[in-house]
Amino acid sequence: MSILIYFTLGLLTSLLFPPYFFLPLGFIIFPFLCLFLDSNRKNKSNLNIFKSFLFFGFGFFISYLFWVKNPFFVFEETKNFFLFFLLLIFLLSLILSLIFTIISKLGKSIPIIFLIPFMFTISEYIISVFFYGFPWFTFSLVISSNEHLLFPLKSFGTLISSYFIIQIFCLPAILLNTLNQKKEIRFLSFFIALPIIFLIISNFYSKNNNLKTNTIDLEIFQLNFKNNDQSLTSEKKLKIIIDNIQESSADILIFGENNFPYLLDDLDLKILKDFLKENQVLVIGATRFENNKYYNSLINITASKVTYFDKKILVPFGEFLPLRDSLTFLERIAGPNNYSNGREERIINLPNNISYIPVICYEIVFYWKLLNKLNYKSNFIINITNDFWFGKYIGPYQHLYLTKIRAAELNKPIIRVSNNGISAVINNKGGIIKNTELNNNEKFKHKLFLQENINFVNVHLILKIYFFIIFILTTFYYLRKNV
């Protein structure tokens, strides 16, 4: 019976995330988890903790990542293998349960209201960094529906914001635990003091440093090309692209990931250059071929010059196949050849001292890999993607909301152009200014105001170190006290 309860709690936890945002559930789920874990660690029931959180994780991930099965249904040849996605769900659930069991054993004397958020945050970090491809799992997403709630991401970053969100959900547990109430309140006050001070300081600087410096006229093209539509030939696709270019008067024209319908083995691209007006910039996704290697590329084209950025963070089983010789049935999804990692710097310079950060598809979720010394002061981000693989329901919306939290965290506007949607202009606060509908053929114009926006990405690292030190000191304090 208890296994069913925790599986159900996992399912309910997924409803905190987009596209649902049933946030009041958090104030029921997390206090319950606090009380359960507190009673079981006192009884030293490690097996019970492991089993309970294994089923909690399975309930959560099978609901939250249910869309992962969708790529198997795009082509007839792979439909019978869709249950492979359950292996991923089980692996993530196992990681979550192991982390909870180990930390509950090591930190059995630490106040539970701190330990539960710490466990989830550590799980988020380990799944994101060590198990390639899943920074997709972050509790920062639960506040992504409201740009006012997204402000902490600007100050704290993704990981620390996740901690505070879960901490807030756990607060009712203090009222229920009268025995250690004073100790937990005192500990909580000490733990969050520095981050709250920094939140106030960053709020002051943000209000005084968002100066408008320039404007750019953008036009976004969501062509909604279907990956499995054999009637839509390359010639037809190219004609659609050229017709849109000819009709546009915008400064920057942006198409989606891999919209250019031919393999790009040189950068002449006269076929597109000739249709550009003076000073126009065309941004389009393409597959580039060079030195017997394939690259998923963002191509930046003017009448006189072509530059590019090759995707650096590739999706396993989507852009390359581990153990390709044994998994040939997945070639319909990943293609007959592996893509290679790009080596170009993540920055593209435009005239008038304007530059943007190029990001291709899934790269937008890797928050710690996007900014560097070269692009730190870039004016905005262009994220081209193709969410056709993600299905019609949960996946595309999660991808959009992950982009929203990235805009707030990096304090930069993001121009998101998806082949099939949802395309959007997102301001530096994480608010959607204008967007398309999913699976529609749409285009729209937007005047982008460029600003000198301060971001606090370097401070996010300092706060992570601060949290880690506090946890270590607290652990030693409670261990020594209970010897």
Q: Distance between CA atoms of 123 and 256, rounded to whole angstroms?
A: 33
**Contact status, residue 381 vs residue 357, Cβ threshold 8 Å:** yes
Segment 275-297 mean pLDDT = 94
Closest CA relative to residue 57, chosen from 145, 156, 108, 127: 127
**Given a cut of 90, is residue 219 above it in pLDDT?**
yes
Q: Distance between CA atoms of 120 and 349, rounded to whole angstroms?
A: 39
Q: What's at 388, amino acid-wise?
A: F
Q: What's at 420, amino acid-wise?
A: N
Closest CA relative to residue 398, chosen from 222, 26, 135, 9: 135
Given this model, what pLDDT does residue 106 score?
Answer: 75
Given this model, what pLDDT does residue 479 score?
Answer: 59
**Given a cut of 90, is residue 199 above it in pLDDT?**
no
Segment 43-48 mean pLDDT = 75
Neighbours of 67 (CB within 10 A): 20
For residue range 137-192, list pLDDT tens digits in order: 899 999 999 888 888 888 888 988 998 899 889 888 877 665 565 666 666 666 66
pLDDT category of residue 8 using cuts at 50, 70 and 90: very high
- For CATH 3.60.110.10, the residue range(s) in the chain are 212-453
Given this model, what pLDDT does residue 376 score?
Answer: 87
Task: Find the helix or strand (DSSP H, E) in which 417 lies.
Answer: strand 414-418
Tell me the average pLDDT of the chain.
Answer: 85
Alpha-carbon dihedral 134, 138, 143, 149, rounded to 10 degrees: -110
**Given a cut of 60, is residue 273 above it in pLDDT?**
yes
Given this model, what pLDDT does residue 214 score?
Answer: 82
Q: Distance between CA atoms of 221 and 252, rounded to whole angstroms?
A: 11
Order of strands across the sheet that contains 281-290: 306-310, 293-301, 281-290, 252-254, 211-222, 442-452
Q: Which range, of 147-156, 190-199, 466-475, averages the lowest pLDDT? A: 190-199
The secondary structure of 212-265 as a DSSP string is EEEEEEEEEEE----TT-TTS-HHHHHHHHHHHHHH---SEEE--TT-S-S-B-
Distance of CA 202 to the CA centre of its chain: 23
Q: Which range, of 77-81, 86-90, 167-171, 194-198, averages the lowest pLDDT? A: 194-198
Given this model, what pLDDT does residue 147 score?
Answer: 85
For residue range 332-389, list pLDDT tens digits in order: 555 667 889 999 999 999 988 899 999 999 899 998 899 988 898 899 999 999 988 7
Distance of CA 79 to the CA centre of its chain: 27
Higher-confidence residue: 104 or 190?
104
Given this model, what pLDDT does residue 462 score?
Answer: 77
Segment 326-334 mean pLDDT = 58
Q: Distance between CA atoms of 217 and 259, rounded to whole angstroms?
A: 21
pLDDT category of residue 276 using cuts at 50, 70 and 90: very high
Given this model, what pLDDT does residue 178 score?
Answer: 55
**Contact status, residue 114 vs residue 373, Cβ threshold 8 Å:** no
Given this model, what pLDDT does residue 467 score?
Answer: 73
Segment 219-246 mean pLDDT = 91
Percentage of the chain lying above the pLDDT 70 cut? 83
Percentage of the chain lying above the pLDDT 90 cut? 47
Helical segments of 23-148, H only: 26-42, 46-64, 85-106, 112-129
Which CATH number, 3.40.50.2300, 3.10.450.50, 3.60.110.10, 3.20.20.70, labels domain 212-453?
3.60.110.10
Segment 59-78 mean pLDDT = 82
**Given a cut of 70, is residue 92 above it in pLDDT?**
yes
Q: Distance between CA atoms of 256 and 285, rounded to whole angstroms?
A: 6
Contacts made by residues 8-11, CB under 8 angstroms, sequence distance 24+:
8/59, 9/33, 9/56, 9/59, 10/55, 10/56, 10/57, 10/58, 10/59, 10/60, 10/61, 10/63, 11/59, 11/60, 11/62, 11/63
**Given a cut of 80, is residue 325 above it in pLDDT?**
no
Q: Distance between CA atoms of 405 and 407, rounded to whole angstroms?
A: 5
Given this model, what pLDDT does residue 148 score?
Answer: 85
